Amino acid sequence: MEGQELNMPLLGDQFPRMEVKTTHGPMTIPDDLKGSWFVLFSHPADFTPVCTTEFVAFQKRFEQFEELGCKLIGMSVDQVFSHIKWVEWIRDELKVDIKFPIIAANDAIALKLGMLHPGKGTNTVRAVFIVDGKGVVRLIMYYPQEVGRNMDEVVRAVKVLQIADRQGAVPAGWPNNELIGDRIIVPPPSDEKTANERKGKHDCFDWWFCHKPLE
């Protein structure tokens, strides 16, 4: 990896276009997913314990992602035949049928997405990219190889991003926030007149911190 530049898309960037091989055949991302949200997540290697628990956990929540109009896509630098064999093993031994595609990435693709961190070896770290229907990167998470991800948080992240687009900012720990529960934060006022009117229209702690029911 010496001399190679480590890049990654930033929040608000268009997800970089990639032609890839997957367990479901060739794909062009994000073109083939236009109009749909998707979660692309990388794992260090096939046939490893933590990654296996993660794939089972993602699959167990497959229908939750589908209900949100969100596709799942796995990725590592293993070859397609390895992915296929691993998916077969999970189906045969753990009785879980992985329904989402897995990308066989090369180092160039992994570097383009910032998934190869020299200080963590030559395998891809556990990255998560949440991308909206316009191909815009909305959220990025990185986990080290030794820490498995919380898939309920990934589901929650997709859900709250979609809610935020429609209704306003979402508080910490939603839907179980310690101050306002599952309510939504009203955008702050942009002028004095709106600030003075704010308390009469919404539930507020103060004019800059008002909240409303989830619609």
> Helix/strand/coil (H, E, C) string of 158-210?
HHHHHHHHHCCECCCCCCCECCCECCEECCCCCCHHHHHHHHHHCEEEECCEE
Mean pLDDT over 38-67 rounds to 95
pLDDT at 2 over 50: no
Q: How many CB atoms lie within 10 A of CB 3?
A: 4
Handedness of CA 33, 35, 36, 40 (dihedral sign): positive
CATH of 167-215, one of 3.30.420.40, 3.30.1600.10, 3.30.1020.10, 3.40.630.30: 3.30.1020.10
Q: What gap in Å lies between CA 84 and CA 101, rounded to an integer?
A: 10
pLDDT at 207 over 70: yes
| Helix 49-60 and helix 80-94, axial crossing angle in degrees, nearest 10 | 70
Mean pLDDT over 163-183 rounds to 95
Model confidence, pTM: 0.90
Of the listed ranges 16-25, 83-92, 159-168, 202-211, the least confidently predicted one is: 202-211
pLDDT at 1 over 70: no
DSSP per-residue letters across 98-164: --S-EEE--HHHHHHTT---GGG-SS--EEEEEE-TTSBEEEEEEE-TTS---HHHHHHHHHHHHHH
Sorted by where each begins, the domain ranges of the chain are 18-148, 167-215
pLDDT at 212 over 80: yes
pLDDT at 3: 43
> What DSSP state is assigned to residue 17?
P
pLDDT at 9: 87
Query: Does 18-148 carry CATH code 3.40.190.10?
Result: no
**pLDDT tens across 93-141, in order?**
999 999 999 999 887 887 777 776 666 555 667 889 999 999 999 999 9
Q: Across the chain, what does the average pLDDT equal?
A: 90
Give me the active site residues, please. Answer: 51
